């Protein structure tokens, strides 16, 4: 909690162009899963649709997302990240990853791997309790990418999709 709170508060004060927390989370989910309806986003986060509707309206107003027809032919319109939204998400991810890299800068590679393993397990346990799973690349991707300095990381498969970047 301390690390998260510190990063969220510090980043907005230093750079007002950074994404709000809700925008970061919504864009990250859409980036990971592809276009999603407001109902799908509400279900994914366990939120009321009116809350997600307000948050997505802000994304639309800022040009970070756009409404598109359901690629699967469904009736509900879906939200897709715009090029600007993808760029802003990538920039925020880069800053977040750099901050984490500074936190663990004096850790051994083994300690960083251990942290990554435990965090994956913690996240999956929390997801199992809620019954809401975050879609993520499987274990063959670099598990500790968020803990390495940006220059040391290899791009993940999602980094090669337009303006998208590795998962948060």
Residue 89: which pLDDT band, with cuts at 50, 70 and 90?
very high
The pTM of this model reads: 0.72
d(CA 138, CA 23): 25
How many whole angstroms separate alpha carbon 20 and alpha carbon 1? Answer: 17
Predicted confidence at residue 43, as pLDDT, reads 92
Distance of CA 168 to the CA centre of its chain: 4
Q: What is the structure's pLDDT at 13?
A: 56
Inform me whether the pLDDT recorded for 3 exceeds 80.
Answer: no
**Range of weakest confidence among 72-76, 101-105, 136-140, 150-154:** 150-154
**Separation of alpha carbons 160 and 55, rounded Å:** 27
- The Cα–Cα gap between 44 and 3 comes to 24
pLDDT tens per residue, range 107-137: 999 999 999 999 899 989 998 998 888 887 6
């Amino acid at each position: 909690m301390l690390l998260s709170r510190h990063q969220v508060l510090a980043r907005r004060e230093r750079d007002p162009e950074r994404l709000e927390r809700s925008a970061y989370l919504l864009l990250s989910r859409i980036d990971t899963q592809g276009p999603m309806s407001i109902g799908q986003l509400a279900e994914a986060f366990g939120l009321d649709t009116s809350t997600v509707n307000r948050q997505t309206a802000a994304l639309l107003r800022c040009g970070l997302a756009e409404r598109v027809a359901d690629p699967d032919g469904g009736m509900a319109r879906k939200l897709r990240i715009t090029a600007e939204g993808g760029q802003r998400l990538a920039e925020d991810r880069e800053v977040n990853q750099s901050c984490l890299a500074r936190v663990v800068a004096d850790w051994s590679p083994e300690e960083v791997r251990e942290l990554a393993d435990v965090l994956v397990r913690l996240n999956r346990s929390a997801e199992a309790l809620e019954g809401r799973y975050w879609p993520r690349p499987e274990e063959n991707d670099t598990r500790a990418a968020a803990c390495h300095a940006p220059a040391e990381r290899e791009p993940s498969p999602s980094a090669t999709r337009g303006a998208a970047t590795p998962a948060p």
